[in-house]
Amino acid sequence: MNFRLFLNKINRYPIRQQLFIIFVPLVLLSTLAIGLILTTDSTQQLTENYKGLAAANARRVKSIVFDTTNSFKRIAGYMSTDYELRNILSAVYTTEDEALLAENQYTYLNRLHKQETSIYNLTIYSTNKTLTEYKSFSYATPAIQSTTWFKQATSQPNEFWTIEIEDAIPKLTLYMPLPLPLSEYKSVLKMEVDYNYLKNRITNSSYYTEIQLNNQKLLYSDTIQQAGEEVSFPIENHLDEQETFQSNNKTKDALVAINTLDLANDQDHVVIYSVDYSAYKNLRSNVIRWISILIVVLLMTSLVMIIFANFFSSRIKNLQTAVYHASIEDYDFFKQIDGADEISKISLDFHTITQRIKQKEEQIFQGQLSEKELLNQQQQMEFRLLAGQINPHFLFNTLETIRMTALKNGNPEVAQSVKLLSKSMRFTLDYQGKKITTLAEEIETVKVYTDIQKMRFGDRVNFEMTIADTIDPEQIELLPLLIQPLVENAIAHGLEGIEENGLVTLTIDKQGQKLIIEVEDNGIGISPAHLDLIREQIAQNDLDVTKHIGLRNVSNRIKMFYGDDYGLSIRSQEMHGTKVQIIINSLTTY
């Protein structure tokens, strides 16, 4: 019952609006829902992928740090139990040479410096004054013994890590006590990790990496100027492993993956920060791309809906209009509706009905039509009789008689003038009702016209013509009377005021399918203001303007026949003549 009420309410609206009421919730809303689901799902998947890659890089760096620190711990452990080293540190030397000999015979340090590229510096500090400062052995002065690290190293049995800054570069440093149970001396091993060693192993990816020891300042950064500074993305209460988007004063949002490494001494740990600066930008681009696609789909769907609704509504309106005109006995208004659906079939049946009504009405007026037809035939006969009195053949014969008489009386100029006039009239009559001519015929018309003007004005009017070798005038078709009006305009206006040596040049060239025709004169030219006015009158095609009719007609005919890509252009400069150019599509006869 509710559905029937809904249909009754819809039927109150025009068909076009009914289609929108049905299609909008079904198509647009469903498309929007699907698009939003796809956008959300793809963004989530892409986010997880970026987090996984950042976490993998953090684990990779963690593995590098683990290998390095574990290697240092292994070396320190070996040296803390090395009997040979313990004897060197515990012995009392009477001379400096004796101490140097003992230190020099400890070859393990030499092998370390050659094999372990991760060691930047290794120093053994001892309170034994008889030892000599040589290679990695160094005397622990009272100042050194008072340092925090020396006190801590000598007060605990295991190693610890800290950051030492040398040459403005922080270095991860291991301190390890070297026990001397049978001696009163104390010894501490100091090993520094080479910063360049870490950088060479870590910076082989697109991620930015920072490493922090015991929540202190950075011991490592891909940007060396940042090393020794605060962490770029400090995160409170972070887990051992996590990935999150963070912001700082330099970057709006970046994906930061964190991984923690315990250094197996229950007091030191390293935090690795793997930063992806492009993840947020790529995720945002992904959302924008999906939203753009969704908008385009919605726009295209809406456009198709509008086009279909307008098309369907227009067909109904056409049928409605046809019925209305039939009701007022206007049967000629009817237009067949294309298609094969029910609307088209109703239109066809309705057309059959109107045609039958029209036939019956025509029979009523048949007598009147017959009478009008007889009257029309009478008028045609009278027109033919009048036309016969001015038969063109009779006119041409008369002109030929005049020409022969002039030749007989020794007046060749009059004979030539009559001959040219006869040719010009014949061309004019031949062009009537003719839609296409050849370039050769058009050129012949121009030659006849210029010959007449030459006889009229003498040396004031001269004509030259250049045709490209690639053009066969007999094979090129074009509209008639396109060139002659341009030449006529050049003589009538371009050479106006020229007393002698006036020249009109016709140039015909071809570029691809384009036929380029230029008519140029060496006349007085046109001022810029007047030239703009001429161009405006040609473009406006105002019938009330009676100037430049020839140029305007040529331009309009070209555009109507060849299209808007072709037409007429005019260029001129005062005292340097005028050039009119037309471009048409050359049609070749076969």
Report the CATH number at residue 160.
Answer: 3.30.450.20
Q: Which of 156-170, 314-328, 388-402, 572-586 has the lowest mean pLDDT?
A: 388-402
Q: Is residue 273 part of a domain?
A: yes
- Rounded percentage of the chain residues whose pLDDT exceeds 70: 73
Q: Is residue 4 part of a domain?
A: no
**For residues 89 and 124, what is the distance between their CA atoms, to the nearest angstrom?**
9
Q: Is residue 7 part of a domain?
A: no
**For residues 345 and 210, what is the distance between their CA atoms, to the nearest angstrom?**
78
Q: Is the pLDDT of residue 393 over 80?
A: no
What type of residue is 61?
V
Q: Which of 29-33, 352-356, 452-456 has the lowest mean pLDDT?
A: 352-356
pLDDT score recorded for residue 294 = 81
**Are 175 and 35 contained in the same domain?**
yes
pLDDT score recorded for residue 589 = 46
Of 173, 133, 122, the residue nearest 152 (C-alpha): 173
At 519-538, the pLDDT tens digits run 999 988 889 999 988 888 88
Q: Is residue 378 part of a domain?
A: no
Q: Is residue 426 part of a domain?
A: no
Question: Whole-number mean pLDDT of the chain?
Answer: 78
pLDDT score recorded for residue 508 = 93
pTM of this prediction exceeds 0.75:
no
Q: Supply the range of the domain harboring residue 441.
A: 434-588
* pLDDT band at 201; cut points 50, 70, 90: confident
**Mean pLDDT value of segment 236-260:** 74
**Mean pLDDT value of segment 81-96:** 89
**Mean pLDDT value of segment 543-555:** 70
Q: Is residue 416 part of a domain?
A: no
pLDDT score recorded for residue 378 = 37
Give the residue from 305, 321, 348 where a domain finishes.
Answer: 305
Q: Is the pLDDT of residue 85 over 80?
A: yes
3-state secondary structure of 341: coil
**Are 228 and 79 contained in the same domain?**
yes
Q: Is the pLDDT of residue 509 over 90?
A: yes
Q: Is the pLDDT of residue 1 over 50?
A: no
Contacts of 293 (CB under 8 A, 6+ apart): 35
pLDDT score recorded for residue 210 = 87
Q: Tally the residues of the chain.
A: 590
Give the residue from 261, 289, 305 where a domain finishes.
Answer: 305
**Are 440 and 298 contained in the same domain?**
no
**Which CATH number fits the domain that encloses residue 567?**
3.30.565.10
Strand locations in 41-184 (E) = 119-126, 137-139, 160-166, 169-178
Say which residue, 311 or 56, is predicted with more confidence: 56
**Mean pLDDT value of segment 252-279:** 84
Alpha carbon 507 to chain centroid, angstroms: 41
Say which residue, 6 or 459, is predicted with more confidence: 459
3-state secondary structure of 566: coil
Give the residue from 256, 272, 305 where a domain finishes.
Answer: 305
Q: Is residue 385 part of a domain?
A: no
**Report for 41-50, 145-154, 305-314, 581-590: range of highest mean pLDDT:** 145-154
At 373-392, the pLDDT tens digits run 434 433 443 333 333 433 45
**For residues 485 and 465, what is the distance between their CA atoms, to the nearest angstrom?**
15
Q: Is residue 425 part of a domain?
A: no
CA distances from 554 to 473, 475, 562, 567, 587 (A): 20, 22, 12, 8, 18
Q: Domain total for the chain?
A: 2
